[in-house]
Homo-oligomer: A and B are copies of this chain.
Amino acid sequence: MAQQERAIRTRKIILEAAAATFDEHGYESTTIAEILERAEVTKGALYFHFPSKGDLARGVLAAAVTTEGVRPHALKLQELADTLLLLAYRLPREPMLSAALRIAVDPQARRQFGTAWPDWAELMAGFLREAKARGEVLAHTDEEEVGRMIVSTWTGVRVVTEGLPGTYDLPGEIALLLRLLLAAVATPAVLPRLDISAARAAHLYDDMPARRAEVAESAPRGISG
């Protein structure tokens, strides 16, 4: 059991090192040597978990579709918004997420590994179907189309925000996007009940179990620590 736990942790360390290196230099320019140096593991350990650089890219992409930190809410549309706000807040803080987006946006890497976009679009369509069943969404809404548009527009806001001069913060820009999109999708009774703001993104992030554990770990310990 301890051995298995160690293997899981090693795998995670390698994947995080790969993500950080892909994120900095792009997939093509990254070498296995750089990942080894950053991960501080042996070549054998790396190749045991990931036989090729492509397996590392696929591992990063698979890890990036996540609703971690999103909690159940009376309104399904709030859960949808929370997923996207939280992602915006986590992205600049977690190389695993930004590396996945960088791979998806790079045409060459994308041809080799595909993207997580279809998975994200399906996740969004699922939220919208549940929201519609509960009467939160206007009847003429096409869940597949809107789900796809959410993924496209979220990605565009990320790409363009990064490239614009000035200091736009991603959670604020995603909140703006969601307010526009959901105005065209939510029923009039539900719309004013939604909380869509950068402040909510920060709050959700601080409440994530993983984040709490991290804060606890870095806090000064008592004599017994």
**Which chain B residues border A115 with CB–CB below 8 Å?**
163-164
Question: Once the chains bind, are A152 and B145 in contact (CB under 8 Å)?
Answer: no
Near B by CB (< 8 A), chain A positions 164-195 give 164-165, 168, 173, 176-177, 180-181, 183-185
Q: Which residue of B lies closest to A184 (CB)?
A: B183
CA–CA, A184 and B188, complex, Å:
12
Q: Is the CB of B160 within 8 A of A157?
A: no
Whether A152 contacts B177 in the complex (CB less than 8 A), given A105-B159, A117-B163, comes out as yes
Name which residue of chain B comes closest to A153, CB basis.
Answer: B153
Contacts of A155 in B (CB 8 A): 156, 159-160
- In the assembled complex, A204 has its CB within 8 A of some CB on chain B: no
Q: With the chains together, A154 CA to B152 CA distance in Å?
A: 9
Instruction: Determine if A146 is an interface residue (Cβ-Cβ < 8 Å).
Output: yes
**Distance in angstroms between the alpha carbons of A155 and B155 in the assembled complex:** 9
A196 within 8 A of B: no
Q: Tell me whether A149 and B145 are in contact (CB under 8 A).
A: no
Chain A, residues 141-154, CB within 8 Å of chain B (1/0): the string is: 00001101101111
A107-122: CB near B (< 8 Å → 1, else 0) gives: 1001000110110010
Q: Which residues on the B side are within 8 Å of A110 (C-beta)?
A: 163
A contacts, CB < 8 Å to B = 104-105, 107, 110, 114-115, 117-118, 121, 145-146, 148-149, 151-165, 168, 173, 176-177, 180-181, 183-185
